[in-house]
Amino acid sequence: MKQKLLLVFFLICWFAIAKAQTDTVNSYVKKSYMVPMRDGVKLFTVVLLPVNFPHDVPILIQRTPYGADVPLKDDSTINVDLLPAYYRNMAKEGYIFVRQEMRGKFKSEGTFEMTRPLYHIKDPKRTDESTDAYDAVGWLVKNLPHNNGKAGIFGISYLGYTALDAISDPNPALKASSPQASPCDMFLGDDFHHNGAFRLSYGFEYSYMVENAKEANSDFPFPQFDLYNWYLKLGPLKNVNEKYYKNRLAAWNDFVEHPDYDAFWKKESMLNQISYPSIPVMHVGGYYDQEDLNGPQIMYTHLEKKDTFNRNFIVLGPWFHGEWAWPNGDSLGRINFESNTSAYFQNLQKKWFDHWLKGKDESKFPEATCFQTGTNQWKTYNTWPPKEAESKKLYAHENGTCSFDKAFESTGFVSYVSDPAKPVPYRELPIEATYGPDSHWRTWQVQDQRFVTTRPDVISFIADSLDQNLTVTGDVKAHLIVSTTGTDADFIVKLIDVYPNFDASSLSMSGYEFPVTMEVFRGRFRKSFENPIPFVPNKPEEIVLDLHQINHTFLKGHKMMIQIQSTWFPLIDRNPQKFVPNIFLANPSQFIKATETVYCNKNLATYIELPVMKE
C-alpha cells in the first residue's frame, strides 16, 4: 500500500512538472512582414512567436517611429531570458509580441507626420494612427499562427501615444490598451510646451532626431558638451531656422507658425479626439517624468468622466520617463525608494493583460495604484485623486517663510530682477545633449535645488520643521499674485521637501532640497491660452498654476518650501519680458530686464493649495 501511495505521489509530481514545463515558453522565433493598410501602404512589422507552445496566446502590439527591427535574422530564435525585463514575465507564459514601424519611418511605406491627428473622425476616407492600428490588429489576428483572437496594445512615450490612438475606434479583437507616458496635449502640458511656455532644448533636439532622416534617429551635431552657453549664444528663437534648420523640419515650422493654442494644437489634442474608454485602459505615468508627466494624469481624468463601465485605470510611480520598463527602479538620482518599483509594476502589468487577454481570474483591479514617496509604499485607491483629502493652503510670507496661516500684513511682497541675458539654469551644469553621452536628463527633476539658492533671481519661502508627518495626495495648485515692470513674464513654482540639516541615517542627504513637484507658466496666457494678452506694468494679476498630482509624505523633522523664479534655461526658452505677438519671431532688442513682484499679504495672497490626507 505504501509503495502504491509513493507511485501515485510520483506520478502526480511528474505530471505537475510536465504541465509546468508546457506552460512555460523557453524561446521565441522572429518573423517579419510588410502588413498592408486600407490605402495600400505597407508597414514593416516584426513578430516574436513562442516556440513549441501548446496553447493559443494573445497578441501584444507596439507601434513605433523609432525603428521596430531587432538584431536577429528572420526565423532565428532568442531565449526568453534575453528579452527585456519590461515584458519578460509575460513572455515566459506565452504572448505573441509585435513591433510595427509607423508609416513613413524606417522600412515602412508612406509619409510620416509627427503626432498625426485622428483624421478619420471627420473624414472616414483618411488614414491615421487609429486606422493603422485597426488594420494591423485585423491582419495579425487573421494571419499569425496560434493566436487566441485577442490583442492588446501598449508602449511608452510615442508608443504610448499610438496605444492611446488605437482606442479611438478599436478593432473588435483589440481588448485592452495601456498608454504609458503618453502625451495628451502638446501645448498645455507635454513634450513641447508646458502652459504655453516652449520647451527649447527638448523641442529643438527631438525635432531634429525624428525628422532629420527617414531611416535614422539623428543627434544634432553640437560643437560642445555643455550646452547652456551654446543655447544662450543661439540668441532668439528666430535664429534656429536662419542658422540651422532652414525651414526643412516640419515640426519646428509648426512651432513657429502656431505660438498660441490655436486650431492646429487643438486638433492634435487627445482631449478633443478621445472622449471615453471604449476598451479597458491602464494609464501609466511617473511623478518625475521629464517628457510626459502630464499626459497620463490628464487623460485618465478626462476619460474618467465617461467611464460608465469601469474600464479606466491609472498607475503612478516615482519614475523618470519610462523607468518602469527598466530592470530596477529602486532609486532616482539620490532619492532612494527602498524597493524595486519597476518589478512591482511589471508584475502588475502582467496581471492586467492576463486578465483582459487570457481571461485569468483576478479580483477587482484598484482604480488607482500610486506609489507614495517619503514613506516609500505602494498605495491603492478607489477613486483618484482620493476623496478623503482635505484642501489646505500653504501661504508665502514676506519674511521668506511659509505656513498654513494667512499673512496679517496688508502690504507685504517680495521682488527680484529677471534678466533674459542671465537665465537661471534648470539643472546643475553641465547641461548635456538630451540623449547624449552621460546626460543627466533623466534625473534632473529630483536634483537638489540648493544649486540656485544663492541666486538673487530665485526667491524661497520655507516653513518650520514638521512635528508630525504630513501626506499630500492628489492635485496640487499654485495661486500666484504677481506683477512685472515688463509686459510679459514666466513664473516657475516649486514645492520642495527640505531634509533635516543633519540626517544621521544618511549624512549625504542632510539639508537636501528635494523638488516634489514644479512647473512653469507663461504669463501671457493667464487669461486664455488662445488669446494671449500683455501685462499692465506693475499691476497685480492672478496666475493659477497646476503643479500636478502627487502622493508624497513630508516626514516629521522635514520642512516645506515654496520656490519661485522666472527663467528655467535652456529647458524653457527665454521670455523677452516685453510682449510680442510671436516669441519665435522676437528680435534681440525686444529682450529686456524686468522686476517681478510676488505679493504675500492678507489682501493679495500667494499660496499653494495642497490636498492633505487625514491621519
Tell me the mean pLDDT in the region 163-167. 97
Q: What's the DSSP call for residue 264?
A: H
Query: What pLDDT is recorded for position 10?
Result: 40
Q: Quick check: 386 pLDDT over 60?
A: yes
Residue 281 φ/ψ, nearest 5 degrees: -130, 130
CA pair distance 475, 493, nearest whole angstrom:
15
Position 277 confidence tier, pLDDT thresholds 50, 70, 90: very high
Residues forming a β-bridge with 88: none
Which H or E run includes 160? helix 158-165
Nearest 5°: CA angle at 387, between 381 and 389? 100
Q: Do domains 20-184+269-381 and 390-612 have the same CATH topology?
A: no
- Residues 575, 481 contacting (CB under 8 angstroms): no
Q: What is the pLDDT at residue 216?
A: 87
3-state secondary structure of 356: helix
C-beta of residue 487 within 8 angstroms of C-beta of residue 578: yes
Cis peptide before 385 (omega within 30 of 0): yes
Distance CA 172, CA 486 (A): 56
Query: Positive or negative CA dihedral for 106, 112, 117, 123?
Result: negative
Identity at 271, one-letter amino acid code: L
Average pLDDT over residues 116-140: 96
Strand partners, 491: 521
Assign 15 a pLDDT band (cuts: 50, 70, 90).
very low
Q: d(Cα 344, Cα 109) in Å, to the nearest integer?
A: 38
* pLDDT for the residue numbered 22: 57
The Cα–Cα gap between 262 and 582 comes to 13
CA dist., res. 79 & res. 96, Å (int): 14
Distance separating the N- and C-terminal Cα atoms of the chain: 62
What local confidence, expressed as pLDDT, does residue 504 receive?
Answer: 81
- Check: CB of residue 483 under 8 Å from CB of residue 539: yes
Characterize 574-590 residue by residue with b for buried, 16 or more Cβ atoms within 10 angstroms of its Cβ, and e for exposed: bbbbbbbeebbebeeeb
Please say whether the beta carbons of 68 and 106 come within 8 A: yes
DSSP-derived 3-state class of residue 43? strand
Domain 20-184+269-381 in CATH: superfamily? Alpha/Beta hydrolase fold, catalytic domain (3.40.50.1820)
Distance of CA 191 to the CA centre of its chain: 8
The maximal CA–CA distance of the chain, rounded, in angstroms, is 100
- Provide the pLDDT for residue 260: 98
Superfamily of domain 390-612: Galactose-binding domain-like (2.60.120.260)
Residues 173 and 277 sit within 8 Å (Cβ to Cβ) = no
The yes-or-no verdict on residue 14 having pLDDT over 70 is: no
Mean pLDDT, residues 159-181: 97
pLDDT at 470 over 70: yes
Distance CA 479, CA 482 (A): 10
Is the pLDDT confidence value at 8 over 60? no
**What is the arithmetic mean of pLDDT over 280-291?**
98
- Please give the helix or strand (H or E) that residue 279 lies within, else none: none
Is the predicted pLDDT of residue 11 greater than 80, yes or no?
Answer: no
Average pLDDT estimate for 3-21 = 40
Does the pLDDT value for residue 12 go beyond 80? Answer: no
- Express as a percent the part of the chain with pLDDT over 70: 96
Per the listing, cell 533674459 goes with 420
* 368-372 and 377-381 beta bridge pairing: antiparallel
Q: What is the pLDDT of residues 207-253, one digit of tens each?
A: 999 999 988 889 999 999 999 999 999 999 999 999 999 999 999 99
Calpha distance 566→135 (Å, rounded): 48
In angstroms, the CA 447 to CA 547 distance is 17
- Least confidently predicted of 214-218, 240-244, 452-456, 588-592: 214-218
Task: Read off the pLDDT of residues 19-74 as tens digits, 9 standing for 90 and up.
Answer: 444 579 999 999 999 999 999 999 999 999 999 999 999 999 999 999 999 999 99
CA distance 446 to 548: 15
Q: Which has the minimum average pLDDT: 110-119, 143-152, 315-324, 457-466?
A: 110-119
Measured between alpha carbons, how far is 187 from 74 in angstroms, rounded to an integer? 42
What is the average pLDDT value for the chain, to the nearest integer?
94
Tell me 401's DSSP state.
B
Residue 5, pLDDT score = 42
Among 301, 276, 237, 249, residue whose Cα is nearest residue 570 = 237
Q: What is the DSSP letter of 379?
A: E
Mean pLDDT, rounded, for 451-472? 97
Contact of 292 with 190, CB cutoff 8 Å: yes
Domain ranges of the chain: 20-184+269-381, 390-612
Residue 477 pLDDT = 98
